[in-house]
Structure 1
Amino acid sequence: MPVIKILAHPDYCPAGAEITAPAGTSICEALLDNRIRIEHACEMSCACTTCHVIVRQGLDSLNRAEEEEEDLLDRAWGLEPQSRLSCQAIVAQQDLVLEIPRYSINHAKENH
């Protein structure tokens, strides 16, 4: 099973984390299944950018971003070329290194 390394984030995982996830799982599902409570205000329907992550390693192993995701990412805080919506990025067989941006556009933080 691929290993997903999450870099330290003051709210979601202050010490960082390493988790495993079966191939075919979205990054968002993998994080939530491992008690990393990333925001996902649209309930993983590709309608917001609150689950934005930056894939520091392993980006090429993920499924290709669809046009709808790319359009939404244009509104994400801290957008980088390696940015993905974690609800749309599907884990393959390669290990990943992720950074969760410090902020999201969701100013009224949801408690999911």
Structure 2
Amino acid sequence: MPTIKILPHPEYCPQGATISAAPGTTICEAMLDHDINIEHACDMSCACTTCHVVVREGFRSLNEMEEAEEDLLDRAWGLEPNSRLSCQAILAQQDITVEIPKYSINHAKENH
């Protein structure tokens, strides 16, 4: 099973974390399954950018981006070349490292 190293984030994962998830799982699902409550205002339907992450290692091992994700990412805060929506980024066999950006475009937190 691949591991996801999550870099420290003051709100969602202050100490950072390393979690495991089965191939075929999205990064968002894996984090939520391990009590890392990343924002996902659209319930993982690829309709917002609140679950935006930057993949620091292992980016090429993830599934290819579809057009809807590419279009939405243009609105994400702190966009970088290795940015993905964690609800759309599907794990393969390779370990990855992700960083949750400091901010999102969501003005009101959802209670998920």
Q: TM-score range by the shorter chain?
A: over 0.9
TM-score relative to the length of structure 1: 0.99
- Output the aligned Cα RMSD: 0.4
Report what 1:75 is aligned to: 75
Q: CA deviation at 1:107?
A: 1.1
Question: C-alpha distance in 2, partners of 1:93/1:78?
Answer: 27
Report what 2:84 is aligned to: 84
Fraction of identical pairs, as percent: 76
1:23-47 CA deviation, whole Å, 9 max, x = no partner? 0000000000000000000000000
Q: CA deviation at 1:51?
A: 0.3
TM-score relative to the length of structure 2: 0.99
Report what 2:107 is aligned to: 107
Report what 2:94 is aligned to: 94
Report what 2:50 is aligned to: 50
Match of 1:21, as an amino acid?
Answer: A
Q: What SS is found at the alignment partner of 2:69?
A: helix
Does 2:60 match 1:60?
yes
Specify every segment of 5 or more residues in structure 2 that has no aligned partner in the other structure, as ranges.
none
Question: C-alpha distance in 2, partners of 1:62/1:111?
Answer: 28
Question: C-alpha distance in 2, partners of 1:57/1:103?
Answer: 21
Specify every segment of 5 or more residues in structure 1 that has no aligned partner in the other structure, as ranges.
none
Report what 1:14 is aligned to: 14
Report what 1:26 is aligned to: 26
Question: C-alpha distance in 2, partners of 1:26/1:8?
Answer: 19
Q: CA deviation at 1:110?
A: 1.4
Question: C-alpha distance in 1, partners of 2:3/2:68?
Answer: 27
Runs of 4+ in structure 1 over 6 Å off: none
Question: C-alpha distance in 1, partners of 2:41/2:64?
Answer: 22
